[in-house]
Amino acid sequence: MQEAFRRALDELEQEKHAPGLDPRILTVLHAAIEDRPSAPDAPTSATRVARLVYRARRIAERWCSYARPNSDAPALLNALRDDWVVLVRQLGALSHRDRVRVLWEMACAMKPDNLKYDGQRFFYLTRRAGARPELFVGLTSSPHIPWPGPASFFVHAVEELEGASAEERAELHRQLDAEWRDQPLWLIHALASWVCSRHQNVVQ
């Protein structure tokens, strides 16, 4: 039954059978399905992680579209934040290792190694930092997170999706510098812990 309900919701989203249905309702329903106890024949945890990876990558792709010049409309950011909250709520049920995997896939979906997008990232970050410098305190001067670059772009994206205050961002930037390790994925590990700690009361 749970899987059948999920397929029906997917059809509503993909085939637009209900154009008058608020997309926020669909995302909440998806989250409710994922939070239900698993039946004996329910998808394995690996399948659940794969679904979250897919959703995280979708959010990343939409974020990159939002960050393009003249595309950062408030309505788009609000829709992204709605989907992000649903994703993070489900991350709370995963192990830390799986949370890191989901966020790593999200970061990869932003194509950090593709030089083609460096100009867009540079323009977006410098424009935002110029307009709201209080949101970037400690990030533009970080000795461990190159500015402006793919890593700082990802950190800022997570902060924006979280709707973090200037004070919360400054504290995170200090925390990231303090937790720096010369190890792969150290930044993803730190962000995964930060995000889930903010939602701890929600996911428990």
Given a cut of 80, whether residue 194 has pLDDT beyond it is yes
Given a cut of 70, whether residue 18 has pLDDT beyond it is no
Highest mean pLDDT (candidates 42-51, 69-78, 169-178): 169-178
Please provide the average confidence, as pLDDT, over all residues in the chain.
Answer: 83
Give the model confidence (pLDDT) of 69-87 as tens digits: 887 788 999 999 999 999 9
Given a cut of 50, whether residue 130 has pLDDT beyond it is yes
Tokens of 58: 């979708």
The domain ranges of the chain are: 43-203
Contact 159, 145 (CB under 8 A): no
* CA pair distance 32, 50, nearest whole angstrom: 18
Q: Which amino acid is at 128?
A: R
Give the model confidence (pLDDT) of 156-168 as tens digits: 999 999 999 999 9
- pLDDT grade, residue 184 (50/70/90)? confident
- Count of all residues that appear for the chain in the document: 204
pTM over 0.85: no
* CA pair distance 159, 47, nearest whole angstrom: 28
What is the predicted pLDDT for the residue at 144? 95
Given a cut of 60, whether residue 36 has pLDDT beyond it is no
